[in-house]
């Protein structure tokens, strides 16, 4: 597939799930999980920069981007449900091992995915996603009120999270150089949010965000027990998530690699080169140290006295060995 990006849709339990892909099929896999109210499109800068070294796969969740958006009356928009769909998506694509790159909503989806199948996780890369109470800024006070009184705070939450102004603020944050941001980023998100049914989908899902906050201690315990290879890249101009959060991750995983960037909530908006370089440098040693994963084992009888085995690895190399039978 090379360095070009391709676009696909696959059936996952009756739902068409859209995804972007780049890189060689035999390269180490990075599964990229997007944030709010974005889609896999946010990862295009990374796909184009890392596809020579990795196979990158970025799906759209149900209700986002180009994936199906079933009616909330028939499809509950919860993080458990989104995670289950993405888990099935990895099965459909045959992804047995991968590094997870998560941002914002990708954090809750990714933690559920990793904890359900830790044997598949090569590494975890976190970009402005939270797993500690201290990572939530004062902006979350009003949002938490929504979880206690949905009807009374629904309009306020919509304006603070999903309005055109909110989408712009989420990208730029406190960056003193707003001229570095392409307005298409938030204008496209606003157009997406204006689709029929989107208000209900997004409000339902954000109401369920309270289950993520309730899971923080469990996620922290998992990090401390599993000690996964962890890279945290943090846009320091983020207004929603506190800059203390990367240090909290390092408390859980002392070997974690942490980098603060001159970027906002969506670091790829302005720091794609830095994020790509950090990701490549972090993952390369892990895959170099790991033995090749068998992909296909072929057996051919060459004589009555011996059997020839041909093993094709994920790296694409072929190893042949002879077994002599007595």
- Residues annotated as catalytic are 265
For CA atoms 184, 187, 191, 192, give the dihedral sign.
positive
Instruction: Check: CB of residue 306 under 8 Å from CB of residue 299.
Output: no
Angle at 129 between CA 15 and CA 105, to 5 degrees: 20
Between CA 92 and CA 323 the distance in angstroms is: 35
Q: How many CA atoms lie within 13 A of 274 on its CB side?
A: 17
Q: Could you check whether the bond before residue 37 is cis, i.e. omega within 30 degrees of 0?
A: yes
Instruction: Give 190's contacts (C-beta < 8 A, 6+ positions apart).
Output: 163, 164, 167
Put the strands of the sheet holding 29-33 in their side by side order. 5-12, 15-22, 55-59, 29-33, 98-103, 121-127, 230-235, 257-261
Paired sense of beta strands 318-324 and 306-313, if any: antiparallel
């Amino acid at each position: 597939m090379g360095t070009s990006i391709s676009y696909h849709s696959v059936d996952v339990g009756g739902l068409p799930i859209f995804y972007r892909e780049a890189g060689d099929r035999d390269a180490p896999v990075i599964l990229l999980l997007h944030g709010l109210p974005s889609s896999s499109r946010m990862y295009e800068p990374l796909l184009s920069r890392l596809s020579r070294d990795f196979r990158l796969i970025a799906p759209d969740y149900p209700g986002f981007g180009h994936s199906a958006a079933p009616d909330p009356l028939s499809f509950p928009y919860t993080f458990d449900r989104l995670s289950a769909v993405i888990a099935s998506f990895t099965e459909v694509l045959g992804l047995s091992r991968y590094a997870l790159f998560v941002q914002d909503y990708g954090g809750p989806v990714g933690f559920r995915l990793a904890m359900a199948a830790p044997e598949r996780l090569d590494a975890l890369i976190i970009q402005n996603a939270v797993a500690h109470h201290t990572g939530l800024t004062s902006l979350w006070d009003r949002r938490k009120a929504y979880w206690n009184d949905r009807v009374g705070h629904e309009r306020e939450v919509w304006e603070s999270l999903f309005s055109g102004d909110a989408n712009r603020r989420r990208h730029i944050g406190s960056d003193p150089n707003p001229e570095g941001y392409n307005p298409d980023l938030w204008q496209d998100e606003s157009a997406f949010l204006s689709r029929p049914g989107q208000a209900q989908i997004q409000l339902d899902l954000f109401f369920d965000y309270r289950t993520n906050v309730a899971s923080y201690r469990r996620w922290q315990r998992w990090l401390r027990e599993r000690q996964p290879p962890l890279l945290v890249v943090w846009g320091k101009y983020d207004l929603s998530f506190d800059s203390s959060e990367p240090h909290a991750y390092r408390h859980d995983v002392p070997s974690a690699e942490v980098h603060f960037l001159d970027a906002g909530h969506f670091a790829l908006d302005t720091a794609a080169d830095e994020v790509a370089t950090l990701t490549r440098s972090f993952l390369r040693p892990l895959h170099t140290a790991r033995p090749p994963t068998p992909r296909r084992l072929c057996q051919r009888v060459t004589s009555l006295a011996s059997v020839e085995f041909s093993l094709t690895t994920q790296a694409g190399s072929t190893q042949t060995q002879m077994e002599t039978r007595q």
